[in-house]
Structure 1
Amino acid sequence: MIDPSVLRRAFADYARTILDEYSVGEVLYRLTDQCVELLAVDAAAVSLAEDERLRFVAATDEDVVHVEATQIASGQGPCHQAYRTGHAVFVNDLQHEQRWPDYRAEALGHGMVAVAGLPMEVAGHRVGAVNLYRQRPHEWTGDEAEMGQLLADMATGYVLNARKLDEHRTLAEQLQQALDSRVVIERANGMLAQRHDLSTAQAFERLRSYARSHRRRIHEVADEVVGGDLDL
C-alpha cells in the first residue's frame, strides 16, 4: 500500500530540488531511496544512457551494484529492455525466467527474485531506466507499476531539467559527473571495508547511513573519507 505521507515528501523534495542547481548523481541516489521507501521494494537502481549505451550510476545497496554491473556488461536485462522499448518490464519470479541468463544468475545469486524495469522517457526522449527489486517472488500490482513509473519520470525530469539549467552542459557531461561521483563512492567504500574489516555491502550501508542521518550528500561524505578527513 502506498503511504501518502511518503509520496508527499517525495514530491516536495522534487519541487525543491528542481528549482535550483543540483548534482544529477546525488539526486538519483536520493531517488533510489525514495523508491524503496514509497514502494516497499528491497532495492532500486538507476542507469543513464550515453550514445545509446546504458551506464549504471546509482543504487541502494552493494548487492544491487553487482547485479547492475552484470546487466550493463552483458547488455541484457529488464533495464535494457525497458530502455530500448520504452515499455515497463515486470518479472514476478526470476527463477522461472528464461531471458537474460547472465543477469538472471547474478540477480538470483544476490538474492533478488522479482524485478521491474521502468523506462526514463519524456516525449520520446529516452535517457535511461530504473530497476526495482524484491527478494521474494512478487506479483507487481497496477498501483506499483503506476507509482514506479512516476518515480522514473521524476528521475527523467531531474536529468533533463539539469540540462536546461546549464545549456552548456551536455547530457554526456551530466552522465560523466554522475559516474565520477560513483567512482569516489566506490573508493570510499573500499577504504572503509579494508579499514574496519567489513564486507563491501556493510561498508556501503555505513556510508549511506551516515549521509542520510547527517542530511549530507553521499558523494561529499565519500570525498571526505577518501581525503582522510572523515572516518566512519
Structure 2
Amino acid sequence: MTEVLYRRTAQVFVELADTLVAGFDVIDFLQALAEHAVEIFEVDAAGILLADQRGALMRVAASSQEVRLLELFQLQEEEGPCLDCFRGGAPVMCADLSADPSMWPRFSATAHEIGFSAVHAFPLRLRGQVLGTMGLFNTLAGELPQDTTSVAQALADVATIGILNERTLREQQAVTEQLQYALNSRVVIEQAKGMLAERSKINVGDAFTVLRKYARDHNRTLSSVAHELINNRTGMADLIAAAVKLKATDPS
C-alpha cells in the first residue's frame, strides 16, 4: 500500500470510529464500510453479509449491483467463499476462481458470468464470535498483498466492534425501559393499594393480597388491575367486595 493509501486508511478508521458515538445506524455503517473497502484496497467491489438472530446470513451492504446479485446467489445456493469464511471463522482467499472450479462450482460459474475472477473473504469476528463476513471481489485473478489482507481484517474487526457496541447499547436501553416501566407500575400499584385499603377499611397489606388475587384469577397483570382501580373502571366493585369479604373472614 502506498503512503497515500495508508493515510486514507487512517482517515477511514477515524470516520468509522466516529459513527460509534453519534447516531449509529448499522446498515449505513456497513454500507460505508463496503464503499471504503473498495477505495482503500483498490479492489473492484465489496460486500458484507451479517448473521441474523438465528445465525442465518443476510446480505446487508454492497458497493455495486453485481456484488448484490452474487451475494444473493451465494446465500440461495448455500455455496461460496463468504459462507465458508463465516462457518470457519477465518479468512478465505481465492486468487483465481477458475483454479479449482470444483470448490464452489455454481458460485464460481456465476461469479465469472457477472465478471469476477477473485474473491477474498474476511470474518467479522471478536473472540470467537463471528457476526458475518466482508468479501472483496476483483475482476482480474490475483492475490491481495499481505499488508492489504492484514488491514482488511482489521477493518472487519472494527466493524464487529461497532455492531456489538450497537447491540449492547440497544440491550441496555431495553433493560432501562423495562426497569422504568417496573418502577412506574410500582407507583400505580401503591396508589391502588392505598385507595382499596381506604375504601374497604382494610390494611394495605390485605389490599395488595386482594389486588394480586384478582389479577391472577382474571389472568391479568397487577399493574393493569391497579390502573383500572385508580380510574374507577369495571372491576372496582368486585375488588371492594373481595376486600370486604377478606375483612369479614379475618376481623383482626
* TM-score, scaled relative to structure 1: 0.70
Q: Which residue of 2 aligns with 1:62?
A: 65
Query: Are 2:110 and 1:106 aligned?
Result: yes
Query: Are 2:76 and 1:46 aligned?
Result: no
Name the Cα RMSD after superposition: 1.5
Q: Which residue of 1 aligns with 2:19?
A: 17
Q: Deviations over 1:42-63 (max 9, x none)?
A: 0000000121211111100001
What are the within-5 Å matches in structure 2 for residues 120-131 of structure 1?
Answer: 120-131=124-135
Q: State the 1:9 CA deviation.
A: 1.2
SS of equivalent to 2:10: helix
Q: Which residue of 2 aligns with 1:164?
A: 168
Q: State the 1:68 CA deviation.
A: 0.4
Q: Which residue of 1 aligns with 2:119?
A: 115
Q: Identify which of structures 1 and 2 has the higher relative contact order when contacts are C-alpha pairs closer than 8 Å and 6+ apart.
A: 1
| Number of aligned positions between the proteins | 170
Query: Are 2:68 and 1:83 aligned?
Result: no
On the 8 A contact 1:21/1:162 being kept in 2, the answer is no
Q: State the 1:150 CA deviation.
A: 1.0
1:151 to 143, 148, 155: 155
Displaced runs of 4 or more, over 3 A: none
C-alpha distance in 2 between matches for 1:152 and 1:169: 26
Task: Return 5+ residue gaps in structure 2 as ranges.
Answer: 175-252
SS of equivalent to 2:123: strand
Pick the structure with greater CA Rg.
Answer: 2
SS of equivalent to 2:164: helix
SS of equivalent to 1:106: helix
